[in-house]
Chains A and B, each alone.
Chain A
Amino acid sequence: MMIRIQTDDVDVAAMIAAAKVPGTGAVVVFDGIVRDDGITEMELEAYEDVAVAGLEKIAVEATERFGLLHVSIVHRIGRLAIGENIVVIVVSAGHRHEAYDGSRFIIDELKHTVPIWKKELTRDGGRWVDGEHGHGAGKPQE
């Protein structure tokens, strides 16, 4: 398992190579990209210690639920241009269904629970991307 939050770009090929552990029959890569929604750049920030701990918890849960063999998650922070990688999730499993399901579980959980925020920078300034509203009203996360 490899979990990181970093400003540098992501070596996706190295992550795929690391995922091919004995027993692997499928590797799924999710690569979240800065989309051109009429913005100039995107700025990301994280509550790093808590975010890394949250990503580790999600990776462990995904491994247990879907029988994954390997999980790596790299989430970037700082200023990113359109087309750059935001988050790369690489999972491996014996078969494709587990790998697809595990990958989807990780990105969905990440978006709901990990303290990371995005600001879309535009010519007129910027706007924070709305998070999952109502999350703060729920029960505390472990």
Chain B
Amino acid sequence: MSVKVRFFARFRELLGTEIIAEPANGSSIALLVDGIAQKNREGYNAIFDEHGTFREFVIVMQNGKRIETADAGTVIVADGDEIAIFPPVAGG
């Protein structure tokens, strides 16, 4: 199974633009992102709090659709998914 994980803005600078991951079947979004973010302590701390849960302002998308961070631990990733993780938006 292959899943693309994309980070934007500050998270991108800390963790990389686009990561192709091969999670085990049944992996949740939270588990997948946690595993990738472990490679950079600052990046991990930007996204997750001391309990290892998504910080309240982090935005999570699966194939372009918002997923509530509270649900990211139970939403399972599928082959070909694109997961996006980003801070609050600031366009305009």
Contacts and interface: CB of A to CB of B under 8 A. Distances in A.
A14 interface: no
A112 B90 CA distance: 7
Contacts of B91: 44, 46, 51, 75, 87, 110-111, 114-118
A117 B8 contact: yes
A130 B64 CA distance: 22
Given A47-B6, A140-B68, A135 B89 contact: yes
Interface size class of B (residues with CB under 8 A): 20 to 34
A111 B90 contact: yes
Contacts of A110: 91-92
A112 B89 contact: yes
* Most chain A CB within a 10 A radius of its CB, from B56, B61, B66: B66
B61 A116 contact: no
Contacts of B59: 115, 135-136
A140 B88 contact: no
Interface in B67-81: 67-69
B90 A50 contact: no
26 contacts: A45-B8, A46-B91, A47-B6, A47-B8, A75-B91, A87-B92, A107-B92, A110-B92, A111-B89, A111-B91, A111-B92, A112-B89, A114-B91, A115-B91, A116-B91, A117-B91, A118-B91, A128-B10, A131-B57, A133-B88, A134-B57, A135-B59, A135-B88, A136-B60, A140-B66, A141-B66
Given A130-B88, A136-B58, 14 more contacts: A45-B9, A47-B84, A50-B84, A53-B64, A115-B59, A118-B90, A131-B89, A132-B88, A133-B88, A134-B88, A135-B57, A136-B69, A137-B57, A140-B65
